[in-house]
Structure formats: structure tokens, C-alpha cells
Amino acid sequence: MLFTSAKFIAFLIALVFLYYLVPKKAQWPLLLIGSYAFYYFADTSGMYLIFIITTTISAYFAGIMMNKVNDKSSAYLKANKETLSKEDKKAYKAKMKSKKWAILLVCLIFNIGILSVTKYTNFVINNINTFLSDASKLQPIAMIVPMGISFYTFQTCGYIIDVYRGKHDAQRNPFKLALFVSFFPQLVQGPISRYSDMEASLYKEHKLNESDISEGLTRILWGYFKKLVVADRIITAVTTLISDTAYSGTYVFVAMLFYAFELYCDFTGGIDITIGIARILGITLKENFNLPYFSKNIKEYWNRWHITMGTWFTDYIFYPISVSGPMLKLSKWSREHLGQNIGKRVSVYLSSLIVWFTTGLWHGAAWNFIVWGLMNFVVIMISQELEPLYAKFHGKFKVKDKAWYGVFEIVRTIFLMSMIRMFDCYRDVPLTFKMVGTMFTRVNLKIFVDGSLLNLGITKADYIILVVAFIIILSVSTIKYNRGFVFNKDKYLLRYSLLAVLFVLIIVFGAYGVGYDSTQFIYNQF
């Protein structure tokens, strides 16, 4: 069920009605049934459900086992408080921790294993095949890749790691845990939620409340506006531009900007819908974006774009690697042998490299995604290394606080990020380098005036809509950037009026129905 399909909207309306009609105690079980129904409709063979239930069961038992270890440990330490020495306590705690570590490891290997096998087997086969003769090539395996597996696997792993770390207890009700893993709005493309963030609102009894409904609806409509009016309209031009290498030179520049606009509207639009749906149900989800195109450097960009993924990688990969035994040893060794200046960077950059490699791999089982991840690492690393130079520059030229310099930094970041993202477009590493190269070597500004851009599958009317939509999105974003919010809660008349206008705009100018292909959200593939 596409979020943009009539079926999904009917499903959602029915679910929301039932949600507020059933006894409050039955709300979360109803959500679980709804989530499983949603997932079942995504694959009526039931295989997707089997995968997600397997993941849930493994996390449930791992969590319960760790709970038991914790309970046993607390009871033992309490009972022997007087008799145990400090060293004994330490040794006992270490023993218990290693037990929990073993449980965690088994659970992580199991779930990451499922993710790896389903998503990466053919990638591995293809890479092995490059070294084999035609006769001995391995056959790709027809693999089921459950929708949103990367999202729910990471979410579940985050949950179990947090139980291990003692951030929260394991959920003792398997059905409640099942809801956390499968909560339907985030199955399509995240966000990757933390149990501690969701727990409070997910299982709570919710009363029908005007602000939840109106604010949820606003987010949903805003998301549909971005997805249906912009992303699903501009996609035709992007597809035309990237599927034919004849569109080189300045066309690549156009493709780059169009794709940046499409991806932004597609992904943030999808997340707006997700958060809006959750809000209507009284559930609070973490924001996944914070005006990413207002970032002044790549580091800031990654703090504003796909936030839940970024923090997941930081908390569950970067930090554990940085403080791991081998890394600390390496850090010590490099400081001794390479000097403080370089030595202190080695472990940080190596951890960062691993994170970006994994981030790339998480996005897709292909080299273009891995190179995309590594390119991000390279740019961030260079930016960091150039920081002293920037400081010198800003010391000499007092431009940092000038508005125009801020705009320059924003444009530079958008340009850089969009260029790196071309690996996602062409999906072929050498081709991406080649095509992006032509952007600088085959400049042809004529295409902006000779009507060439009208041959990309979108009409003059579409361009008008895209420009108007761009102005609307930019205005709303600027208001949010400057004030921190868009609507004042008291101004309900303004909110409802704008909601009505938004609804009409989506209905009339949305790229849906006959003549348009319904497109799944881009991040659904990850």
C-alpha cells in the first residue's frame, strides 16, 4: 500500500476511527493489528510478516534474558551486599556483563545476519563473479527483501543494545515489543526510532484531541504536497536526464539540482506523513529532518538530514568502535609513533571511515552507495583539516556574520551534497565520475533558453508548478528557520484555512492518477 494510494488513505481513516472508538486499553493492540495488516498487504504471501515476527521474537527473548541477568545480578548483589568485597562485586558484574554481551552478540548476529543475507547476498555474488570466468559464474539468488528491513532491523538492534547498556528495561510484553518493531507509519522509510523515545506515547491511552488531529493533519498534508506536487512531478525529468548519457554537461547540473529537490520533497514529505499519522494517533516520533538545506557545512548538514540514522550510526557504531580496545591501542600507538597531531586523528578518522562505509552499505547493496558514503567521509575529513585555514581566513576577512556569506555557505553545501548524491542517480561509479566531470567541461547554458528543458517529459505548466512549489517550500522553511515554528497555536483560523488551501493544491496540482505512475518513496528501497 503506497502512502499515496486511495487504499492506504481508506485504511488510515478506518484505523483512526477505530482507534478512538475502541476502549482505550485496546488502542495499542489495535495498532499492532493495523501494523501487521499494513505489512501483510505489502506482501500477501506473508513472507514479510514472517521476517518481522522472527526479528521481534529474537529481540524479545534476548531482552527478557538480559532482564533476567539484571534481576539476578541485582538480587545477588543486594543479598551479598555486606559479604562481597569491592573486587568481588566488580568481578561478578563483569561476569554478568559478559553473559549479557553473549546474548546481545547472538541477537545482533542473528538480525544483522538476516539483513545481510537478504540484502547483500547478490551483491557479494556479483562481486565474486567479477573474478570468475563466464563458465564458472555464480547464479544470483532470487531473494525476498522485506519492505523496510533496514529500518526495522536497525531499530530493533538499537533497542537490544540499549537494554544491554541498561538504558531501559526490556519490554516484557511480546506484543508491545512487536508494535514497537512494526509500527506501520515508520515501516516505509523510518524514522529509526529509539524505544526510550517512543515507549511513553506508544502504549499510552490516548484521548481524541484537537491539537493532535490538526497538527497531525497539517504534517500529513504538507508531506503529500511535497510528495505529490513536487517529487512525483519532477521525477519524470530526473529519470529522463539520468537514463541517457547524451544528457551530459549542463544537463547533469540540471539533473543534480532536480534530484536534490526531488529527494528532499520525497524523503521529507514521506517523513512528514509518517510523523503526522503518528501524531494523529497521539504518538510522538523523533524528527528526522531539521531544515537540512539551510546547513552551512557538510557536518551541519548531516546533523539536520536523516537525523535518526545519523545518531544511530554515531551511538551504535562510531562510539563503540572509537572506545573499543583495538582502537584505543591504535590511538595510543599512533600518538607515540606519528606524533600527537596526526596520532589523535587516526582513531577518529578510522572510526568515521567505518561509519561512512556502513552508512553507504546500509543505503544499498551496490558500490555506488559505498562510494557515496566514502565521498561523504572524504569531504567531512577535508573540511575538518581545512578548519585552521578557515579560521585564518575569517580572522583576516570579517565576512562570517554577513548575510551574503551565509547564503554562499548554504549554496556551497547544497551544491556539494547534491554532487555527491549523483552516485545515487547514475548508480554506477565510473559513469558518475564521468558525467559529473562533463558538468565542468561541457558547459552549455543555451539549454536554459532554447526550450531543451521542455523535452524532459515535463511541460511548461509543470515548471510553473515546480517554481511556485519551490517558493512555497522555501518560504515555509525560512519562517521555520527564523522563528522555530510555522504556526502560532492560537491562530487556528489561519492554520485551518491554510490546511484547506493545501488540500485543494494537492488535489488539483498533485501528480497522481491517470497519466502518472504512482511512485514509491525513494527511501522505501533502503
Rule CB under 8 A: is residue 44 a binding residue for other proteins? no
Rule CB under 8 A: is residue 6 a binding residue for other proteins? yes
With CB under 8 A as the contact rule, which of the stretches 194-202, 396-404, 414-422, 457-465 interacts with other proteins?
457-465
User: Residues 11-46, buried b or exposed e (16+ Cβ, 10 A)?
Assistant: bbeebbeebbeeeeeebbebbbebbbebbeebeeee
Rule CB under 8 A: is residue 492 a binding residue for other proteins? yes
In the complex, least distance from residue 214 CB atom to other proteins, rounded to whole angstroms: 9
In the complex, least distance from residue 495 CB atom to other proteins, rounded to whole angstroms: 10
In the complex, least distance from residue 493 CB atom to other proteins, rounded to whole angstroms: 6
Do 230 and 265 touch, CB atoms closer than 8 A? yes
* DSSP symbols for 294-337: G-SSHHHHHHHSSHHHHHHHIIIIIHHHHTSHHHHHHHHHHHHH
Rule CB under 8 A: is residue 195 a binding residue for other proteins? no
Rule CB under 8 A: is residue 510 a binding residue for other proteins? yes
Rule CB under 8 A: is residue 459 a binding residue for other proteins? yes
With CB under 8 A as the contact rule, which of the stretches 169-177, 260-268, 352-360, 492-500 interacts with other proteins?
492-500
With CB under 8 A as the contact rule, which of the stretches 270-278, 331-339, 348-356, 511-519 interacts with other proteins?
511-519
Q: Which of 455, 471, 507, 525 binds other proteins (CB under 8 A)?
A: 507
Rule CB under 8 A: is residue 357 a binding residue for other proteins? no
Rule CB under 8 A: is residue 135 a binding residue for other proteins? no
* CB closer to other proteins, 293 vs 509: 509
In the complex, least distance from residue 508 CB atom to other proteins, rounded to whole angstroms: 5
Distance CA(453)–CA(464), nearest Å, equals 13
Tell me which residues in 252-291 interact with other proteins (CB under 8 A): none
* CB closer to other proteins, 15 vs 263: 15
Rule CB under 8 A: is residue 516 a binding residue for other proteins? yes
In the complex, least distance from residue 470 CB atom to other proteins, rounded to whole angstroms: 18
With CB under 8 A as the contact rule, which of the stretches 73-81, 85-93, 360-368, 505-513 interacts with other proteins?
505-513
In the complex, least distance from residue 461 CB atom to other proteins, rounded to whole angstroms: 3
Q: Which of 135, 142, 246, 514 binds other proteins (CB under 8 A)?
A: 514
Residue 456, C-beta contacts closer than 8 angstroms, at least 6 positions apart: 236, 237, 240, 241
Rule CB under 8 A: is residue 504 a binding residue for other proteins? yes
Rule CB under 8 A: is residue 173 a binding residue for other proteins? no
Query: Phi then psi for 172, rounded to 5 degrees?
Result: -85, -15
Rule CB under 8 A: is residue 515 a binding residue for other proteins? yes
Q: Which of 87, 130, 461, 482 binds other proteins (CB under 8 A)?
A: 461
Taking the mean position of all CA atoms in its chain, how far away is CA 196? 18
Long-range contacts of 23-27 (CB under 8 A, 24+ apart): 24/205, 24/206, 24/207, 25/205, 27/205, 27/206
With CB under 8 A as the contact rule, which of the stretches 55-63, 126-134, 240-248, 455-463 interacts with other proteins?
455-463
* CB closer to other proteins, 80 vs 497: 497
* DSSP symbols for 220-235: HHHHHIIIIIIIHHHH
CA distances (Å), origin 75, targets 80, 81, 103, 307: 8, 10, 20, 39
* DSSP symbols for 364-402: -SSHHHHHHHHHHHHHHHHHHHTHHHHHHHHHHS--TT-
Rule CB under 8 A: is residue 509 a binding residue for other proteins? yes
Do 354 and 321 touch, CB atoms closer than 8 A? yes
Q: Considering just the CA atoms, what is the radius of gyration of the chain in Å? A: 25
Helix (H, G, I), strand (E, B) or coil at 284: coil
The backbone region for 205, taken as left when phi is positive above 0, alpha when psi lies in -120 to 50, beta otherwise, is beta
Q: If we measure between CA atoms, which residue out of 525, 434, 452 comes closest to residue 241?
A: 452
Do 421 and 263 touch, CB atoms closer than 8 A? yes
Distance CA(305)–CA(289), nearest Å, equals 5
Do 457 and 517 touch, CB atoms closer than 8 A? no
Rule CB under 8 A: is residue 224 a binding residue for other proteins? no
Rule CB under 8 A: is residue 207 a binding residue for other proteins? no
Rule CB under 8 A: is residue 500 a binding residue for other proteins? yes
Count of residues in contact with other proteins, rule CB under 8 A: 22
With CB under 8 A as the contact rule, which of the stretches 36-44, 343-351, 396-404, 488-496 interacts with other proteins?
488-496
Q: Count other Cβ atoms within 10 Å, centred on residue 118.
A: 19
Q: Which of 324, 478, 497, 525 binds other proteins (CB under 8 A)?
A: 497
Rule CB under 8 A: is residue 503 a binding residue for other proteins? yes
Binding site for other proteins (CB under 8 A): 6, 210, 459, 461-462, 492-493, 496-497, 500, 503-504, 507-516
